[in-house]
Amino acid sequence: MRRLAETLEDVAGQAKLYDVTSAAVRGANRRRRTRTFTASALTILVVTCVLLNVAMFLQLNNGGTGRPDLGPGRQNGEPPALVKALLDSPTRGSLAGDINLQKDVLDRIIADPDAYGLPGDRAKLRVLFAGDIPGNRRLVIVAGATGAPQLVNLTGGKGAAAKSLKLTGWSDVDTPVVRDDWRGNRGDEGFVVMFGPAGYDLSVSDSPRYLADGTIKREWKAEPAGYVARDTKAVPNGLRVRISRDTTVLYEGAVFPPGTARRGAVDVNPLHGRGKPAPRAAEYAADALAYNTGLTGPDIRYVVLWSDDFWVEDPNKVGTGMGQIATVMALTPDGGGPYLTLTTDASPEPNSRTHPNAAGVIGDPEKALLVMRLPHFTQDPLDTLQIVAPPAAVRAEFVRQGDGAVLATTPLTNGVGRIELPAPVEGTVRAFDAKGAVVAERAYTDAFTYGDFSNVEPQVRGW
């Protein structure tokens, strides 16, 4: 079996693990109907791990090729309050002042509005973006200011006339932020464009420092153009975009790096002997962290915080049997770093899964407390919550938010144990030592935000 890193190089990110598969889906999202900020539960539960399944994923989640949706509210009505400010904002992009280009684009739409799923009334059309962007491309985004607004992407080569632009994507306008990710078929080719309503500041930050106390140190820089346009080949590690006004954050999310193969070996023996070695899962998890975060340098240590055998129930039966699971941390020189939990099934060419709350950032691994819903191959989530606490912890409890009721307790061995607690739950997990003192505690929720599900820092949506 080829190493995962080789697979990543060969198929530009479409590899056998959840995080990288999401990148493959993002890579195709401009060639099919796309909804940037939403994903169905199928995205989380039926994660694809081979190219055939990637194609199935796209069909199930993003529709096929063809014409934009012409459903109710596309032609008339007033825009929802949530997106009205965005639709009323001036055009962004390097060609925002090119009135002739924009007129020609609108004339083309008005001549055949049904082909674009947009109204034929010029007064209800909005050019949200027009510009030449990285990758020698021209992008024009047009939306309908209607009761169920939709936007379309028209793209072409740099300098292309309106008549030469091709309809390459469309999506509902159901958030106040436009994020357009396009990944091509050749290596890291692609771009990302992002902006919000007028009146909000846009800033960027990259190369974060993960500190030993579990916090993340970032420096933010203003983006004076009011929008982000980046070449995906040149995205720095840890790049995030923030759209805010005063101290209120409307949106914050990651722009993923081009994907980098891991360098260096992983010590597959779990820290403090927590569990047992699971080399396949540990290698895959380390590869996923490297690819997704860009943390690949010689000063990065990949530490297995916990690993074990893991029984897998595969609905397709191919992978049913004893697989492996591992939680791996990319430990940085500042003492903290991101972590990821990944399980592999029992098939000869193993498929992998992770879970949105099985990844994050921690500080000193000797002091960290992890609480996570275990990854699963079935449609329904597992009832099991995995706890990985400091090795001195001998007992843990789950305290429900609100009334403070203790819903479950469990003994811990080397700080490791499990609680059977069906989702959804929200509360605090406390770990105790032999004298009854709290050695660590952590808030937990089954709620998570779709969109940045493959990133270790959660997306912020302030609406």
220-257 pLDDT, tens digit per residue, is: 999 999 999 999 888 898 999 999 999 999 999 998 88
Residue 186 pLDDT? 59
- Give pLDDT, residue 66: 66
Residue 16 has pLDDT above 80, yes or no: no
Alpha-carbon gap, residue 433 to 395, rounded angstroms: 7
Question: The whole model's pTM is what?
Answer: 0.81
pLDDT value at residue 13: 33
| pLDDT, tens only, 25-78 | 233 333 333 333 333 222 222 232 322 233 222 322 333 346 898 889 999 999
User: Could you tell me if residue 93 is inside a domain?
Assistant: yes
For residue 111 the two structure tokens come to 């001549």
Claim to verify: residue 104 and residue 56 sit in the same structural domain: no
> Which of residues 62, 87, 110 is at a domain's end?
62
Q: How many CA atoms lie within 13 A of 303 on its CB side?
A: 24
Which residues are bridge partners to 167 per DSSP?
Answer: 154
Token code pair at residue 204: 């960027």
Average pLDDT score over the chain: 84
Give the integer Cα–Cα distance in Å for 176 and 173.
8
Mark whether 174 and 321 lie in a shared domain: yes
Task: Say if residues 201 and 176 touch (Cβ distance below 8 Å).
Answer: no
Domain assignment present for residue 447? The answer is: no
Peptide bond into 424 cis (omega under 30): yes
Q: Final residue of a domain: which of 365, 392, 418?
A: 365
pLDDT tens figures, 292-304: 888 987 899 999 9
Domain boundary among 339, 365, 391: 365
Is 58 in the same domain as 108?
no
Q: Is the per-residue pLDDT at 23 higher than 60?
A: no
How many domains does the chain divide into? 2
Residue 151 confidence (pLDDT) above 50: yes
Query: What pLDDT digit, counting tens, does each position of 197-210 carry?
Result: 999 999 999 999 99
Same domain, 175 and 316: yes
Range of the structural domain that residue 224 is part of? 70-365
Share of the chain above pLDDT 90, in %: 68
pLDDT band at 449 (very low <50, low <70, confident <90, very high): low
Cross-strand bridge partners of residue 388: 370, 416
348 part of a folded domain: yes
Distance CA 6, CA 166 (A): 34
DSSP annotation of 42 reads H
Predicted confidence at residue 32, as pLDDT, reads 31
Same-domain status, 86 and 35: no
Shortest CA distance to 192 belongs to which of 221, 154, 227, 230? Answer: 230
Instruction: Label residues 405-434 b or e (16+ Cβ within 10 Å = b).
Output: eeebebebebbbbbbebeeebebebbbbbe
Q: Please enumerate in sequence order all residues whose Cβ is within 8 A of that of 352, keeping only pairs 6 or more positions apart, or say none.
A: 16, 17, 18, 49, 281, 284, 342, 343, 344, 345
Amino acid 320: pLDDT: 94
- Whether the pLDDT of residue 142 is over 80: the answer is yes
Give domain status of residue 409, yes or no: no
Rounded to the nearest 10 degrees, the angle between the axes of helix 18-28 and helix 51-62 is: 60
The pLDDT of 434-456, averaged and rounded, is 80
On whether both 84 and 34 belong to a single domain, the answer is no
